[in-house]
Amino acid sequence: MHCTSCGSEDLGKFKGTIAIHFSGMENLDKPHVYISPDVVVCLDCGTAQFAIPQAQLRLLGKGDTDVSTD
C-alpha cells in the first residue's frame, strides 16, 4: 500500500476517535457524530485516511443524529 497523496510506502495504522459536527450556526444544537476508525497516516506527508461505518455515514447523509450508533 502507498500514500495516495505523495506515493510514500511509509504508512502507520492507528486507532482513532473522531467527532464530526455539522457546520453552520443553524446546526449548533445538533450533537456530534462519533466514530472510532482505524486511521492510516502517511508518516512522510501527514495525509490521513479512514472509513466511516455505515450507521454513522447514514446519520451524516441525513443530517440527523437522533439515531443510536454502535
Q: In this predicted structure, what is the pLDDT of residue 67?
A: 44
The per-residue pLDDT for 62 is 84
> Residue 70 — very low, low, confident or very high, per pLDDT cuts 50/70/90?
very low
d(CA 8, CA 12): 11
Q: For 22-43, how does the pLDDT look when each residue is reduced to its tens digit (9 = 90+)?
A: 989 998 898 899 999 999 999 9
Residue partners of 49: CB distance under 8 A and separation at least 6: 4, 39, 40
